[in-house]
Structure 1
């Protein structure tokens, strides 16, 4: 399994065990498969995604990425794990304004020591970015920026790809097209995809769905 989450709980200051944002959530995710996480606003979707990406600490339970348990990792080792094994795609894109599209795509993979120029070019071609590589993020539309963020995430060839509403800024038709391509590229790269979405149509495109309600898997 690429991702194992076992009975994870998480409470923020002022929350009790009864009102914790996550209360005993468990799931498994294998290489080459995809899971959509759905739920109402405030149900804990993004919190669980951030915990799975070693961006935050959980209170109890365990999360494993490959053979690595997150509970005992300090910040430095968590950063190293994200740099080499985990990629994230957020709705806000988080592109570097001072870097060209080409350099944005290669950034994470270069930091992780896993940049493959051939794979990077293939991603650019298939995501419709090959004619935009020398532009800067401010020169792109929202949809183009979103595709750059997806290319950057996949360029690492991560074990685990985390995505929080990755097509939230696109219309329904464009969203479905980008998701189809994203799922195809995930299968080819062997990554596991863990995706948060509010869209039932997007969720149904993935292999499995998990619904959160009041911090629990419903």
Structure 2
């Protein structure tokens, strides 16, 4: 069985061995940022299915790591690992640059004006604003209205909109984790959903 090296998300200096054929939870957690970027490319109309890394990231988002073939695992190792390294080392500029050339013009523009516009939008449209009438059974009906959003599930089986802890929280000693948006309770991430999806799309992927 093949064991490959991947730098742990919580340690910039030490390598952590993941058995990619079995440790699916660790793989999916580590690759969540890259999967999210793939979803952003779909929304921007820039997904290129001729690129193996795009296809595999999309499959990871829809079916999880357990669905990947040996060849697709090779793509994860050879094509996606460098991107994950960029992200967890906090080299966000390099990470963003890898995708920016394929984004639609102005998509998530990082200029000051764009940043302020997004900040104002989120203040005026908090997560609890209803954004779609048709949702898959069991999924929440509220989420941010800009871009992708995340669905989590706790041990009791409850669903909620979740977020990844901020850099400030991580630096203060909090464990890196997915938490409920409004209460910071621990939830497991189960879905990364583009806001352009319909309820039928969500039901097909995660129902």
Fold-level similarity (TM above 0.5): no
Greater strand proportion: 1
The structure, 1 or 2, with the larger RCO (C-alpha pairs under 8 Å, 6+ apart) is 1
TM-score normalised to structure 1 length: 0.26
- Between Structure 1 and Structure 2, the one with more helix by share is 2
